[in-house]
Amino acid sequence: MQALMMDMPLLVSNLLRHAARHFPDVEIVSRRVEGDLHRYTYKDCHARAARLADALTRRGVHVGDRIATLAWNGYRHMEIYYAVAGMGGVIHTVNPRLHPEQIAWIVNHANDQYLSFDLTFLPIVEAIAALCPNVRGWIAMCDRDRLPASAKVPNLLCYEDVLAEGDDRYVWPELDERSACGLCYTSGTTGNPKGALYSHRSTTLHAYAAALPDAMGCSARDSILPVVPMFHVNAWGLPYIAPLTGAKLVFPGPALDGKSIYELLESERVTYSAGVPTVWQGLLAYVASNGLKFSTFRRTVIGGSACPPAMIRTFQDQYDVEVIHAWGMTELSPLGTLSRLQNKHLDLPEADRQKVLEKQGHVIYGIDMKIVGDARNDLPWDGKTYGDLLVRGPWVVKEYFKGEGGDPLEYDGEGRGWFPTGDVATIDADGYMQITDRSKDVIKSGGEWISSIDLENLAVAHPAVAQAAVIGIAHPKWDERPLLVVVKKPGAEVTKDELIRFYDGKIAKWWTPDDVQFVEAIPLGATGKILKTKLRETFKDYRLPGV
Ligand code: AMP
C-alpha cells in the first residue's frame, strides 16, 4: 500500500456528524404543521437521527431499502434524511402535489418499506394505503397525542414512538460511498416518472461544490430558509449544504404564503433563501402591499424555471436582495449552473452586468456542458447559436432507477457519456449558459425558433401582468405561432393591444405573439412550474385570429 492520504468514504452521515461536533449549538428552527415554532440544535438533530437509524435497523430495514416521505420542510424530515441515508437506506422524497394514483405508482415502483408523512397528507395516505401493500408501516410525523385514528391506514405508527425504540449511541456504519442514499422521481413528460438515484459520493460532492462562493455561496454566518421543498430535489441540496458549512437552518413547514415567509425571515434573522420564481411572487406582493423591507435577508437562489429579469431587478433595486439565478434538474442533484459575476464583468455598465446575471449561468466545478446541433455536432459558444444542452459530471444521472428507459446517455467520439437535458440553450464565450426553452416548449415558426421564456419574461415586466405563459399554436403557414396567456394583477386593467405593443422594439417583430388570452389562473405543476402540457390541452381547440 502506497503512503497516501486517509481513505475515508464520502458519506452523508458525516455531514450531520460534522455539524453536531463542530457547530453543536447552531440552530434548526422549524414551523410545524401544528403552527408553532420548534427549535433545537445540530447536536440534538444528530442524536435523534442516530436514534431513528437504530430504530429502523431494529425494525429490519436493510442497507439499500427505500423509506419514503410525504413531508414539508421540517426538523423531523431532516432527521429522516440523515437516519435513513446514514444507516445505508435510501430516502425517497415523494412530491405530495402529485395525483394520489401517481404517488401510489411511485411508492410501489420504489418498493418503499415505510412511508413517513406530515399530518397534512393523511388524506393522501388514506387514499393510497390499500394500493401499496408492500409498505410495512405508515409513520405519522407528530407527537403521540396528535396521532389520528384512521381506519383506512393499516399499521399507522407515531413517529415519536418509532424513535423511542432506538438508541442514540448508534454508530453510523462505514458504507461504500458509491452506494445509494436518496431517490427522487422526475415527473416524466412522457410515460411514467423515472427515478434519479443519488449516491453518498454524488450527494457529498454536490454539497461541497454547491457551497462554494461562486455557486450558492453559503457560510457559517448564514441563516438559511429553504422555501424550495425537501421533496423537490432535496431542497436543492440545502439540508446537506447547511450542516457542511455550519449555517443555521430555518424550515417553513407548510406555511409558504408571503406573510408567513416574511415573518420567519425577520424573526429568525434569515440571510439566505432559495425557491422557484412562483413562490417569490407571493412574498414580493406581500412586502409591497404592506410597505415592508427586509432587515437581514440579503441573497436568494432562484431557479427551477427561468427567473424573470423583472423579478431580479425588484429584489435588487427595491429590497437590496441579491438574486442568484440557477439552473439544474432532478437528474443533476440538481445544480448545474449559477450566474455570478467574474472580475471581467465588474467594470461593465450596469445594464451589461445585469444581462450576465439574467442568464442561467456558469457551470460549477464538476459539471461540464456543451450544446449540439441536430447532427450532434458541437455548436459554437457565441451566445447566439442555440442547440440541445448536454452535461456530464459526478452528480449527473448515469441511468434511471431500475434501468427504466434504457441508457439515457449520448456518447461522444472518445466514448464519454453525456446526459441530454431536454433543454435548448446558448453558451457565450465566457461560458455562461442561457436556456432558450425546454425543447418541447420552443415555438417553431417558419423553420426558426422562438423562445417562450423570452416572451414570458417580457410580459411579466408589464405592470398589469401577474403571470404569463406562451405556447405555440398550430398555424397553416408558419407551422406554429406564439399565443400569450396572461393572468392580470388584481384590480389591474390592460388590453390585448397594449400587451402586444409592449413587445415593440424589445424583440424581433416576427417573435411578437399573434394573440393574447386572459385567464383566471395558469396551471402549475407539482414543483410550482408552469404546466405547459395542461395549457396546451386547454387551448387545443383555440384558433389564432385570421386562421
Ligand atoms: P426538475 O427536474 O423538475 O427540477 O426540472 C428541470 C428542468 O427545469 C430543467 O431541465 C429546465 O427545463 C427547467 N429549469 C430549471 N432551472 C431553470 C432556469 N433557471 N431557467 C429555465 N429553466 C429552468
Side-chain-facing half-sphere of 489: CA atoms under 13 Å: 15
Residue 237: partners with Cβ closer than 8 Å, 6 or more residues away: 203, 206, 207, 210, 216, 333, 334, 335
- State whether the beta carbon of 426 lies less than 6 angstroms from ligand 1: no
Nearest CA to ligand 1 atom 12: 438
Q: Using DSSP, state whether 417 is helix, strand or coil.
A: strand
Q: Which residue in 94, 104, 69, 99 sits closest to 84, CA to CA? A: 69
Cβ pair 325, 310 in contact under 8 A? no
Dist. CA 74–CA 150, nearest whole Å: 24
- List residues bridging with 371 in a β-sheet: 389
- State whether the beta carbon of 304 lies less than 6 angstroms from ligand 1: yes
The CA 329 to ligand 1 mean position distance, Å, reads 6
Q: Per-residue pLDDT tens for 440-457?
A: 898 988 878 899 999 999
The CA 388 to ligand 1 mean position distance, Å, reads 14
- State whether the beta carbon of 302 lies less than 6 angstroms from ligand 1: no
Q: To 5 degrees, how large is the angle CA 174–CA 175–CA 178?
A: 145
The CA 319 to ligand 1 mean position distance, Å, reads 26
Q: Is 541 exposed, middle or buried (0-12, 13-18, 19+ CB in 10 A)?
A: exposed
Dist. CA 106–CA 71, nearest whole Å: 15
The CA 420 to ligand 1 mean position distance, Å, reads 13
231, 276, 305, 441: which to mutate for ligand 1, most atoms within 8 A of CB?
A: 305
- Residue 363: its pLDDT value, please? 98
The CA 4 to ligand 1 mean position distance, Å, reads 41
Report the catalytic residues: 186, 331, 444, 449
Q: Which atom of ligand 1 lies nearest, measured to the CA of 527? A: 3
The greatest distance separating any two alpha carbons of the chain, rounded to the nearest whole angstrom, comes to 78
- State whether the beta carbon of 327 lies less than 6 angstroms from ligand 1: yes
Cell representation of residue 256: 409558504
- State whether the beta carbon of 303 lies less than 6 angstroms from ligand 1: yes
- List residues bridging with 114 in a β-sheet: 67, 137
- State whether the beta carbon of 421 lies less than 6 angstroms from ligand 1: yes
Q: Which atom of ligand 1 lies nearest, measured to the CA of 331? A: 2
Q: Which residue in 307, 250, 305 sits closest to 273, CA to CA? A: 250
Alpha carbon 495 to its chain's center: 35
Q: Which atom of ligand 1 lies nearest, measured to the CA of 421? A: 10
Cell representation of residue 404: 427504466
Q: Per-residue pLDDT tens for 205-221?
A: 999 999 999 999 999 99
- Residue 192: its pLDDT value, please? 80
- State whether the beta carbon of 360 lies less than 6 angstroms from ligand 1: yes
Dist. CA 547–CA 536, nearest whole Å: 18
The CA 303 to ligand 1 mean position distance, Å, reads 7
- State whether the beta carbon of 527 lies less than 6 angstroms from ligand 1: yes
Alpha carbon 426 to its chain's center: 22
- State whether the beta carbon of 391 lies less than 6 angstroms from ligand 1: no
- Residue 188: its pLDDT value, please? 56
Nearest CA to ligand 1 atom 4: 329
Q: Which residues of the chain have pLDDT under 70?
A: 1, 188-191
Looking at residue 378, the DSSP 8-state letter turns out to be: B
337, 396, 435: which to mutate for ligand 1, most atoms within 8 A of CB?
A: 435
Global pTM? 0.92
- Residue 3: its pLDDT value, please? 86
Q: Per-residue pLDDT tens for 147-172?
A: 998 889 999 999 999 999 999 999 99
The CA 492 to ligand 1 mean position distance, Å, reads 30
Cβ pair 322, 316 in contact under 8 A? yes
- State whether the beta carbon of 329 lies less than 6 angstroms from ligand 1: yes
Q: Which residue in 102, 104, 134, 138 sits closest to 122, CA to CA? A: 138
359, 369, 423: which to mutate for ligand 1, most atoms within 8 A of CB?
A: 423
Residue at grid coordinates 454547491: 210
Dist. CA 276–CA 100, nearest whole Å: 23
